[in-house]
Structure 1
């Protein structure tokens, strides 16, 4: 015959397992929506004229969101690892130079290079980005996330020959994840550094 203590313990265990099951289902649903939902579910402007929330995959296969870059000046640029080197690598170099120069001045910068090709693999991205910009973070995302994010960040999503057209501008988000402006993605490191210095003084 079960004692009251054993009965309470069994009921408690059932409640715990029930809570865990519900949490697992909600977690799966959340992940599914984050990966495959429509633009309104995937990326939200959060009141920004340009830019907003996102969910990206790093080359180490971990997931990041815009919240991981709070308290830094976030630079968001869209490109493709098949982009001609003379068109895209100068932009990566300018983002790298901005990070190194401004970090020495106490200004924290997080440059993100987001692949427009959802099928880009880690090794080609590393080989394209890291030799010229070792501190620039390359990211990939699901096709739906890329579509939603480029719309929110006002970047093109179209192919030109064998590569996607790189974004003509770098979007700058301030340390509070608010839209601060854009600057041409033309590889001019001095102009990028000057713009960030100006914004950081406001």
Structure 2
């Protein structure tokens, strides 16, 4: 009998040791929470039916404690992991909030800049003063220009071009003449040459017709004058034959090369020989008629664009307005 009790006691100790060892080996496995473990653990009656009766109530109680400790440790581990995750999340939020606070602090404008309201006001006042001064000076300059343009400048040559002057030439009758021979008469002078193919004849015909028309309209006597710019070929005889073809009152003048150069310079007349082949050449020259007053002072010039009517009317108008 004593041997049987001793055997049962050893078996109970061995079972308890194996059960504890098994519980410790199963503790790392995931288990449901504590409430679930308590809710789903097997009832005591079921355990009593499965275990041998010899183990007794102490073995069952030990097994239940093992299950309870396993469930508790799993729940505690899971809670620790959850709290750790929440802590990491909170630390992340704190880091982000710290970064946002730092960025917001760095984005704040710096107060107390170098430009104050007083300096800005002084700058505006100074700029306005400069603009007003510039505008005043500009208006004064414009007024000075306007007043200066309205002033009449007195002088000997006001309103008259420096055209005309003394000359000494030979007329188509071989007599020496000067500008003084034309004083007291209205004179129209044209520069050309007798070998001119078309322009000179056209202009001299227009001048002759205008002289007759002026006589008819106003009764004013006009002296037409032709001055040659080709002294090498336009001799006195050549000029004499030439002027008879246009008008009986037309006076032809020629002279030496120096004399023609001087009179052309005095009347601002341009002339120049073109390409020369033996004695056959042309002369480029100004196509202008000069109206000279009774004092042999320049009055007005008329160009090629004037026809007979405009030339005659223009000369009559200038004569009527002369010295009024």
Instruction: Give CA deviations for 1:17-41 in whole Å, capped at 9, x if unaligned.
Output: xxxxxxxxxxxxxxxxxxxxxxxxx
Distance (Å, rounded) in 2 between the aligned partners of 1:125 and 1:185: 22
CA contact (8 A) 2:170 2:236 kept: no
Match of 2:210 in 1: 98
CA pair 134-167 structure 1, distance change in 2 beyond 3 A: farther
Displaced runs of 4 or more, over 4 A: none
Equivalent residues in 2 for 1:59-74 (5 A)? Answer: 59-74=172-187
Q: Shift of the alpha carbon at 1:187?
A: 6.9
Say whether the 8 Å CA contact 1:74–1:110 is kept in structure 2: yes
What TM-score do the two structures reach when normalised by structure 1? 0.70
Q: Confirm or deny: 8 A CA contact 2:214 2:312 kept in the other structure.
A: yes
Alignment pair present for 1:194 and 2:307: no
SS in structure 1 opposite 2:271? coil
Residue by residue over 1:29-78, the C-alpha shift from the partner in whole angstroms, topping out at 9 and shown as x without a partner, is xxxxxxxxxxxxxxxx9x96111111120111111111111122211111
What's 2:283 paired with? Answer: 164
Select the residue among 43, 50, 53 that pairs with 2:163.
50
Structure 1 unpaired stretches of 5+? 1-44
Question: Secondary structure, in 3 states, of the residue corresponding to 2:177?
Answer: strand
Displacement of 1:177? 1.4
Q: Is the 8 A contact 2:290 2:302 kept in 1?
A: yes
Q: Is 1:129 aligned with 2:129?
A: no
Match of 1:21 in 2: none
Alignment of 1:169-184 (within 5 A): 169-184=288-303
Which of 103, 106, 110 is the equivalent residue of 2:223? 110
Compare the two structures and name the one with the higher helix fraction. Answer: 2
Contact 2:293–2:299 (8 Å) recurs in 1:
yes
Residue 189 of structure 2 is matched in structure 1 by 76
In 2, are the aligned partners of 1:91 and 1:186 still within 8 Å (CA)? no
SS at match of 1:200: helix
Which protein, 1 or 2, shows the higher relative CO under an 8 Å CA cutoff with sep ≥ 6? 1
SS in 2 for 1:51: coil
Aligned residue in 2 for 1:89? 201
Structure 2 unaligned blocks of 5 or more: 1-156, 276-280
Quote the Cα distance in structure 2 between the aligned partners of 1:135 and 1:57: 16
Over the aligned positions, Cα root-mean-square deviation in angstroms equals 2.1
Q: Is the 8 A contact 1:94 1:187 kept in 2?
A: no
Q: 1:137 to 1:187 in 2, by over 3 A?
A: farther
Q: Give the Å deviation of 1:142.
A: 1.7
- Rounded Cα–Cα distance in structure 2 between residues aligned with 1:156 and 1:72: 26
8 A Cα contact 1:48 1:178, kept in partner: no
In the alignment, the residues of structure 1 paired with residue 247 and residue 285 of structure 2 have an alpha-carbon distance, to the nearest angstrom, of: 17
